[in-house]
Chains A and B, each alone.
Chain A
Amino acid sequence: MKRALFHITVFVIVVLSLLPFLWFVNTSLKTSLEITSIPPVFIPSGTVRSYVSAIKDYNLLHYVANSVYVAGATTVITISLSVLAGYALARLRIKYKGLLMGSLLLVSMFPQISIAGPVWRILEGLGWLNSYQGLIIPYVTLTLPLGVWILTSFFSELPQELEDAARIDGCGHLQTLLRIMVPLAAPGVFTAAILIFIYAWNEFFFALLIMTRQTVQTLPVGIALFQGQFTLPWGEIAAASTVATVPLVLIVLLFQKQIVRGLSSGAIK
Chain B
Amino acid sequence: MKLSLIARERIFASSLLVPCFLFVVFFALYPVSYSFFLSLHKIILGLPSLGQSFVGLDNYRDLFHDQVARHSLSNTLLFVFLSTFFELLFGLIIALVINRQFRGRGLVRAAILVPWAIPTVVSSQMWRFIFNDKYGLVNFLFYGSHTSLYAAWLANPLTAFAAIVIADVWKTSSFAALIILAGLQLIPDELYEAAEMDGASEWQQFTQITLPLIKPALLIALLFRTMDAFRVFDLVFVMTQGGPGDSTNVLQFYGYKKIFAEGLMGYGSTISVLVFFITFIIALFYLKLIGTGLFQEKQ
**A interface residues (Cβ-Cβ under 8 A, vs B):** 6, 9-10, 13-14, 16-18, 20-21, 23-24, 27, 35-40, 81-82, 84-85, 87-95, 97-98, 100-107, 109-122, 137-138, 140-142, 144, 148, 173-174, 177, 198, 201-202, 204-205, 208-209, 219-221, 223-224, 234, 237-238, 241, 244-245, 248-249, 251-253, 256, 259-260, 263-264, 266-269
Contact = CB atoms under 8 A, between A and B. Distances in A.
Interface in B79-131: 93-94, 97, 100, 102, 106, 108-127, 129-130
Interface of B: 6, 8-10, 12-14, 16-17, 19-21, 23-24, 26-32, 34-35, 38, 93-94, 97, 100, 102, 106, 108-127, 129-130, 134-135, 137, 140, 144-145, 147, 170, 174-175, 178-179, 181-183, 186, 216-217, 220, 224, 227, 230-231, 233-234, 237-238, 251-252, 255-256, 259-260, 265, 268-269, 271-273, 275-276, 279-280, 283, 287, 292-298
B231 A111 contact: yes
A144 B24 CA distance: 8
A224 B125 contact: yes
Closest 10 CB pairs of A and B: A118-B31, A264-B182, A98-B295, A115-B31, A114-B276, A118-B34, A85-B20, A92-B13, A202-B119, A88-B16
Contacts, number: 303
A256 B110 contact: yes
Label chain B's interface by main secondary structure. helix
B104 to A, nearest CB: 8
Contact of A84 (B20, B31, B122): B20
Given A122-B31, A267-B182, 9 more contacts: A23-B137, A38-B145, A85-B21, A88-B14, A94-B298, A109-B279, A140-B23, A209-B256, A267-B179
A198 to B, nearest CB: 6
Given A85-B17, A223-B121, A107 B24 contact: yes
A13 B108 contact: yes
Contacts of B145: 38-39
**Prevailing SS type, chain A contact patch:** helix
A117 B269 contact: yes
Nearest to A97: B297
A110 B31 CA distance: 11
Contact of B272 (A84, A114, A137, A208): A114
Given A238-B129, A253-B110, A267-B179, A204 B227 contact: no
A9 to B, nearest CB: 6
A113 B216 CA distance: 29
A9 B113 CA distance: 17
A21 B114 contact: yes
A241 B17 contact: no
Contacts of A173: 8-9, 12
Among B108, B118, B292, B298, max chain A CB count under 10 A is at B118
A204 B233 contact: yes
A115 B294 CA distance: 26
Given A94-B14, A103-B29, A115-B32, A17 B111 contact: yes
Given A94-B17, A244-B119, A204 B111 contact: no
B71 to A, nearest CB: 17
A104 B295 CA distance: 12
B292 A269 contact: yes
Nearest to B269: A117
